[in-house]
Amino acid sequence: MRCRLLIAVCFLAVVSLARGSFAAEPNSIGLRLVRIEPGEYLRGAADQNVIGKYHPLSTTARNRNHGISPAHPVRISKPFLIGEREVTVAQFRAFVDATNYRTTAETSGSGALKFLPNEPSGLKQFQNRPDCTWRTPGFPQTDNHPVVCISWHDAVAFCEWLSKEEGRVYRLPTEAEWEYAARAGTNTMYVGGDEPDSVYAYGNVADAALEAAHPGMVSRQRIAGLEPGNGDGFVHTAPTGSLKPNPWGLFDTHGNAWEWCSDRYTVEYYSDLTAAAQKKGSLTQPAVTVDPQGPEKTLNDQYGNWRSMRGGAWTNSPVTARCSWRGFAEAADSFCYTGFRVVTELPSADE
């Protein structure tokens, strides 16, 4: 345990040297980017006991960790630019207007997964409906809200279009890039610390406002902190940038909308990486994994194209909006709580 703590402190010291800084101007659709410098950090959940200490009243199964352990050292070797905010409704509309693109939810005939508050509390409150798309997610949105009801394929198509428009590479972040930028030099469960309620300053998650509007929606996940006035105050999605940014200037890395990443998802991925790193290093100091891209293939491939998502959403209690938490879905799935942010690769001269 002492060795693990020393390793964590060392990596935190290295990562703390990196800082986010804004690119000079927003791009052609008003998307502002933050430069992230190279560095090393400890990815994943370092100590499952911490979860038990700070989430004793969460009804989310703490042992079902969705592959967020063991924690392992990761190095990001090159600087990159990442969206200051999640892609907005207005920015996605610019893509649709320019290309006449139709999303997976619009072409599938089944629509996206919609929140149905009048259904019995539980899984029945979320069902696919043909009328649920990025234009009509089932709750009010303005141009500044994060676009939702977006599949992984839709997000990739947006990035491909923007790459052609801008003459530079736009893509989805890897899980390693996403967590590195989201943590912003911190090594706690949330950027504000380990206390669950610290997330409310930074992210729009399931809170007292959602519970008051739709009783049972939050209490089935968490039975603490639901007194009137507690939380971030938003029922559904919030306009991007409504809450505090993380130390590197990124908004909504906790909550608002789940964000697609480029990686294929498998629950065994961190275990596999750690085993490979230990062969190169030692039990007390495994080798650093450099720029992991996710597995090339997984056992899940026989069932579909499963991709990772990060950050949690307005529907989730704090425990599933932690920096380390990994969500996943099939690449063609669309939900009223899933969007994305983009990464821009830097030309060599800019590094």
The pLDDT tens digits for 234-263 are 999 999 999 999 999 999 999 999 999 999
pLDDT of 282 higher than 60: yes
Mean pLDDT across 105-111: 96
The pLDDT tens digits for 166-204 are 999 999 999 999 999 999 999 999 999 999 899 999 999
Q: Report DSSP state, residue 94.
A: H
Structure token digits, residue 58? 């969460």
> What per-residue confidence (pLDDT) applies to 15?
39
The pLDDT tens digits for 296-330 are 988 888 889 999 999 999 999 898 999 999 999 99
CA-atom Rg of the chain in angstroms: 19
Starting at the earlier edge strand, list the strands of the sheet with 326-330: 326-330, 306-310, 258-264, 338-339
pLDDT of 49 higher than 70: no
Determine if residue 210 is left, alpha or beta; phi over 0 gives left, psi from -120 to 50 gives alpha, anything else beta. Answer: alpha
Structure token digits, residue 255? 């909550």
Q: Identify whether the C-beta of residue 65 lies closer than 8 Å to the C-beta of residue 115.
A: no
> What per-residue confidence (pLDDT) applies to 278?
81
Q: Identify whether the C-beta of residue 310 lies closer than 8 Å to the C-beta of residue 258.
A: yes
pLDDT of 99 higher than 70: yes
- Higher pLDDT: 225 or 274? It is 274
Q: Identify whether the C-beta of residue 218 lies closer than 8 Å to the C-beta of residue 328.
A: no
pLDDT of 205 higher than 70: yes
Mean pLDDT across 205-232: 82
pLDDT of 107 higher than 90: yes
pLDDT of 51 higher than 60: no
Structure token digits, residue 272? 């596999």
- Residues 269 and 282: their CA atoms lie apart, in Å, by 19
- Residues 313 and 210: their CA atoms lie apart, in Å, by 12
pLDDT of 345 higher than 80: yes
Going from N- to C-terminal start, the domains of the chain cover 2-350
Q: Report DSSP state, residue 53.
A: H
| Strand ranges inside the chain, DSSP E | 20-22, 33-36, 39-43, 72-76, 80-83, 112-115, 126-129, 170-171, 258-264, 289-290, 306-310, 326-330, 338-339, 343-345
Closest by CA to 116, choosing from 99, 139, 93, is 139
Count CA atoms within 13 Å of residue 52 on its CB side: 5
pLDDT interval class at 347 (50, 70, 90): confident
The pLDDT tens digits for 63-80 are 456 689 899 999 999 999
pLDDT interval class at 215 (50, 70, 90): confident
One CATH from 3.10.180.10, 3.40.50.970, 3.90.1580.10, 3.30.70.1150 for 2-350: 3.90.1580.10
- Map residue 309 onto helix, strand or coil: strand
> What per-residue confidence (pLDDT) applies to 119?
85
Closest by CA to 188, choosing from 31, 36, 328, 15, is 15
- Map residue 47 onto helix, strand or coil: coil
pLDDT of 18 higher than 90: no
- Residues 108 and 336: their CA atoms lie apart, in Å, by 15
pLDDT of 6 higher than 50: no
The residue assigned the tokens 């789940």 is 258
pLDDT interval class at 220 (50, 70, 90): confident
> What per-residue confidence (pLDDT) applies to 17?
38
- Residues 229 and 5: their CA atoms lie apart, in Å, by 37
- Higher pLDDT: 152 or 120? It is 152
